Amino acid sequence: MIPLTRRLAAEGLGAFFLFVCVVGSGIMAENLADGNDAIALLGNTAATGAMLFVLITVFGPISGAHLNPAVSLVAAARGDLGWGSAAGYVAAQLSCGILGAWAAHLMFDLPTLQLSEKARYGLGQWLGEAIATFGLILTIYGTARHRPQWIPATVALYITAAYWFTSSTSFANPAITVARSLSNTFAGISPSHVPGFVIAQLLGAFAAALVVRWLFDSEPQKVNANPAPTSH
């Protein structure tokens, strides 16, 4: 068993680079897109998908590269991760992820401390987050059951697609939702709209956990999952 301190370090480093990528690529994309939101979103999407593939490949063998409280909480609920370890994972993801958002601001000569003014709320957005997170958990465990070596690719590809097929652009991650509320940039979300997103994400994650138990765990060989993954 890899020591918890090393696993927490991997989660923290992974969250830092994922969150700095999401926020930083959003800033860069918006700066270069000349007001074209579709082009800006395409740039943000490509960078995030590529970074996910790299981070899951690098940190997956150490911590599982959850980088996402929804993933860690589902793993704990399934018995794949202890609740104490899950609490540490969530703390590392959130704290280091916020540092990543601040680092992105510094790189682009923006004020470090910000609050987003970007409105993201309503039934359509919440449903988008629930579906995005449901699909993410399903992707992780389905791949872990049948093609574990493909987890970096399937998660990266799923999030790349979900940026475009969901109304919310697929945050699918409570920690990054909080971090993005602290960035008044392309990737931001108003702090007052964070609770709705987080509730939808957790509902989607645990609904997926029930489906995973029925769909995959009932097969002859039970999943032995230390799921690698995340979202943005």
Mean predicted lDDT score pLDDT of the chain: 94
> Residue 232 — very low, low, confident or very high, per pLDDT cuts 50/70/90?
low
CA distances, 114 to each of 31, 101, 179, 188 (Å): 18, 10, 10, 10
Report the distance separating Cα 99 and Cα 94, nearest Å.
9
What average pLDDT score do residues 208-232 get? 69
pTM of the full structure: 0.93
pLDDT by residue (tens digit) across 102-114? 999 999 999 999 9
pLDDT by residue (tens digit) across 161-193? 999 999 999 999 999 999 999 999 999 999 999
| 62 pLDDT higher than 60 | yes
Neighbouring C-alpha atoms within 13 Å toward the C-beta of 88: 15
The domains located in the chain, with CATH, are: 4-215 (1.20.1080.10)
Give me the pLDDT at residue 217, please: 87
Report the distance separating Cα 85 and Cα 28, nearest Å.
35
Between 227 and 3, whose confidence is greater?
3
- For residue 210, count CB atoms less than 10 angstroms from its CB and return exposed for 0-12, middle for 13-18, buried for 19 or more: exposed
> Residue 218 — very low, low, confident or very high, per pLDDT cuts 50/70/90?
confident
CA angle 115, 111, 17 (to 5 degrees): 80
| DSSP letter string, 186-229 | TT---GGGHHHHHHHHHHHHHHHHHHHHHHTTTSSS--------
pLDDT by residue (tens digit) across 127-155? 999 999 999 999 999 999 999 999 999 99
CA distances, 174 to each of 42, 98, 180 (Å): 22, 12, 10
**Residue 66 corresponds to which tokens in the numbers above?**
């959850």
> Residue 210 — very low, low, confident or very high, per pLDDT cuts 50/70/90?
very high
Q: State CA 131 to chain mean position distance.
A: 14
